[in-house]
Amino acid sequence: MTRYSISQDTRLSADVIKHAKQAQRKKIVINILSSMVTFIIYIVITIVFVTPFIYLLGNSFRVNSQSIWGNLFPVSWKSFIPYDGVTLKNYIQALGLDVVSRGFGMNMSRALWISLASATCVIISSLIFNTCAAYFFARLKFPRKNILLVYVLATMMIPQQVVIVPLFLVVRSLGIINTFWALVIPWYSSPFIVFLLTQYFATLPYELDEAAIMDGANLLQILYLIVVPNSLPGLLTVSLLEFQFIWNEFYWPLVAVTNRELQPVQVHIAAQFTERDPQWGRVFSAMVLASAPIILIFMMAQKYFFQSTAISGIKG
């Protein structure tokens, strides 16, 4: 009887070990397949997003438009790489550095400065007003402030095209239409940025405010000495988002600014599309120049962007 029990226990132990090994092998196979699927998805996403920019960058160095469209189909490496000659003429003309391009009204360098200046002014004003509003909603005790927050967030649901005419009338009544400030004043505050900063400020321990109040600090001192220094990743994140929004803005500058000297980069590029003589190499080079600042700024600030997302749960 004892010998039978020992034999049975041995078989049970062997079966348990066998099943454990099978489960382990199955788990390893599943992990390998999961990693392969994830890798394939990343490759597909990379190809989808990077391929257009590679095509844009490669064709911006081509000698003429014929070589651009002559290699478009069938798609091959010749569609992306300027194998038949490389030139910087397109970039020189896009920046308005020669007489010919200035005669056609191409002065990308001026448009870049206009976009950079307007984006900088909007970011500064946005950080001031949006930070104060977010501090009110996130840190101050006020009756029914959630109702006000819902009202602010409700304005996010209104499409820009719906308010473009009232906004134009307001800007015109202020006397700043067709001026540089028409690119800045309408965007001095953003409900989306207020919402993001409210979410971020709410993650800070309220004990910091209480300690500052006990030391005699007022509300503004708490904001600029306690909240802001502990929220730099979040502030950098919203600044990056605001910069991207203003830099890519097209519809409002097209309506509010008709002076070619004040046109930002996106409107300036669109003005180069003519049926008479479309210089695609020059337009492609202008698109590369317009994309470069956004890419460079994100690469330099991505550490703070991901840090802010991880801490506050902001989904940009």
69-116 pLDDT tens trace? 777 777 777 778 887 778 888 888 888 787 776 766 677 888 889 999
- The rounded Cα 10 to chain-centroid distance in angstroms is 63
What CA–CA distance (Å, rounded) separates 234 from 223?
A: 14
CB distance 269 to 286 below 8 Å: yes
Grouping H, G, I as helix, E, B as strand and the rest as coil, residue 186 is helix
Quick one: which of 118, 73, 130, 68 has its CA closest to 282? 68
| Angle in degrees, 0-180, between the axes of helices 191-201 and 280-312, rounded to the nearest 10 | 30
Quick one: which of 192, 197, 202 has its CA closest to 152? 192
CB distance 209 to 220 below 8 Å: no
Is the pTM above the cut of 0.85? Answer: no
Side chain identity at residue 253, one-letter code: P
What CA–CA distance (Å, rounded) separates 156 from 164?
A: 14
280-241-175 Cα angle (round to 5): 80
Output the CA–CA distances (angstroms, integers) from residue 241 to 172, 189, 196, 248, in the order listed. 27, 13, 11, 11
**What are the domain boundaries of the chain?**
2-92, 104-312
Q: Is the pLDDT of residue 40 over 90?
A: yes
In this predicted model, what pLDDT tens digit does every residue of 103-162 receive, in sequence order?
666 778 888 899 999 999 999 998 899 999 999 888 888 888 888 888 888 888 888 888
Output the CA–CA distances (angstroms, integers) from residue 214 to 4, 90, 202, 204, in the order listed. 78, 63, 20, 18
Side chain identity at residue 115, one-letter code: S
Sign (positive/negative) of CA torsion 150, 243, 189, 167?
A: negative
Q: Is the pLDDT of residue 6 over 90?
A: no
CB distance 58 to 287 below 8 Å: no
How many Cα atoms sit within 13 Å of 68 on the Cβ side? 20
% of the chain residues with pLDDT over 90: 11
Select from 2.30.60.10, 1.10.3720.10, 3.40.50.720, 3.40.50.1370 the CATH code of 104-312.
1.10.3720.10
| pLDDT higher at 197 or 4 | 197
Output the CA–CA distances (angstroms, integers) from residue 269 to 35, 111, 137, 215, 285, in the order listed. 42, 9, 40, 55, 10
In this predicted model, what pLDDT tens digit does every residue of 221-276 receive, in sequence order?
888 888 888 888 888 888 888 898 899 888 899 888 888 888 899 888 887 766 56
